[in-house]
A and B are shown apart, each in its own frame.
Chain A
């Protein structure tokens, strides 16, 4: 039925601020995990700020940098890094998991000839590339 919204009196329900926690009285795990994923970016951003600050300190000489590094071994900083790491892992894991979505139905985006590559291969490929890239970066950091 098409209405004339000008003349028909309708009622619009307000959206609760806590919609991501309780969905009409029921806990919706997917809404919650979604908001958590959005939140991950805050921690990643904070980490990046910290990292840039550290690079900036390098220009102030080795002493300033070493002192800063030592201050990072305090409990709260370690806790922050662990949380940031978990969030970064969660974000990367779900983000790469999305790669299956471009394959699962219809015309998959990665094809060999006329055959659509199975989604699981795409996911494994992305996770594999992620792990390898992480290892290379870790290696460079720890050895250089």
Chain B
């Protein structure tokens, strides 16, 4: 198809060795009907301006590395069709609530630290030897956490969360959802080890339920839901252990 149209793409640029604050740059991009915002960025990099920096990898919504603000909304740029914005111009900025390293690339160190803190892996009190085989699970047990395991660490939810923007200590949506995912896993025994991170003031209790994280999540993980579930579960557990201190099984 040769139905080329031209769209204006304005990109936030930040070149730390040249400038102290970000500036803007606008490019005219001829695009085909099936192009996404990421295609336009790649076109700019390949044909117009090789100095533009951004992250991407899979171009199919799995790797979670192409998240940026598109016209003010956190989006996977490989899933944002240009034709949905045309004839208006498209504004691309790095994910908000994170420091900018260069152009559209953000510093994700804070998110990685928080992710690590919730220990998103299966914890066993005692590992059984490989010779004893796998830890088995029924389809029903898988259903318990499956939705929360779909997270691709794209950080769109952190960009959508005003609480994280204002309060950087907040563990944040995806990390809590992933901690919750392992807490719900029938093979896991690490609930106690995650509690001091998840059920803390900087954890679930920092969340005031704006709900925007769940709206922007491209994988329908619904982190807001994970947080609400954890709030109720933590409160009931605490209540139970107050009323029946001997019945603390978990």
A interface list, Cβ under 8 A from B? 1-3, 5, 8-13, 15, 19-20, 23-26, 28, 30-31, 34, 38, 98, 101-102, 104-107, 109, 114
Find the A residue at minimum CB distance from B55. A1
- Please state if A9 and B16 are interface contacts (CB–CB under 8 Å): yes
Most interface-central of B146, B180, B209 (chain A CB within 10 A)? B209
Chosen A-B contacts, 27 in total, with CB atoms closer than 8 Å, are A1-B108, A2-B109, A5-B109, A8-B16, A8-B107, A10-B107, A11-B22, A11-B99, A12-B100, A13-B100, A19-B165, A23-B72, A24-B72, A24-B96, A26-B73, A30-B210, A31-B162, A34-B209, A38-B208, A98-B228, A101-B224, A101-B228, A102-B232, A105-B225, A106-B145, A106-B147, A106-B229
Q: Which residues of B contact A11 (CB under 8 A)?
A: 14, 16, 20-22, 99-100
Q: Which residues of A contact B228 (CB under 8 A)?
A: 98, 101-102
Q: How far is the CB of A126 from chain B (nearest CB, A)?
A: 12
- Please state if A20 and B162 are interface contacts (CB–CB under 8 Å): yes
- Please state if B222 and A10 are interface contacts (CB–CB under 8 Å): no
- Please state if A107 and B14 are interface contacts (CB–CB under 8 Å): no
| Complex: A8 Cα to B233 Cα, angstroms | 41
| Complex: A98 Cα to B109 Cα, angstroms | 32
User: Chain A at the B interface: mostly helix, strand, loop or mixed?
Assistant: loop
Within 8 Å by CB of B144, from A25, A34, A102, A106, lies A106
Q: A3-B101, A10-B99, A24-B93 are in contact. Are A30 and B225 (CB under 8 A)?
A: no
- Please state if B232 and A106 are interface contacts (CB–CB under 8 Å): no
- Please state if A104 and B107 are interface contacts (CB–CB under 8 Å): no
Q: Which residues of A contact B100 (CB under 8 A)?
A: 10-13
Q: Which residues of A contact B117 (CB under 8 A)?
A: none
Contact with A along B160-194 (1 / 0, CB 8 A): 00100110000000000000100010000000000
Q: How far is the CB of A20 from chain B (nearest CB, A)?
A: 7
| Complex: A15 Cα to B168 Cα, angstroms | 12
Q: Which residues of A contact B93 (CB under 8 A)?
A: 24
Q: Which residues of B contact A107 (CB under 8 A)?
A: 144-145, 184, 229
Q: A5-B109, A24-B69, A106-B148 are in contact. Are A13 and B96 (CB under 8 A)?
A: yes
Q: Which residues of B contact A2 (CB under 8 A)?
A: 109, 112
- Please state if B222 and A105 are interface contacts (CB–CB under 8 Å): yes
- Please state if B16 and A5 are interface contacts (CB–CB under 8 Å): no
Q: Which residues of B contact A20 (CB under 8 A)?
A: 162
Q: How far is the CB of A24 from chain B (nearest CB, A)?
A: 3
Q: Which residues of B contact A10 (CB under 8 A)?
A: 16, 99-101, 107
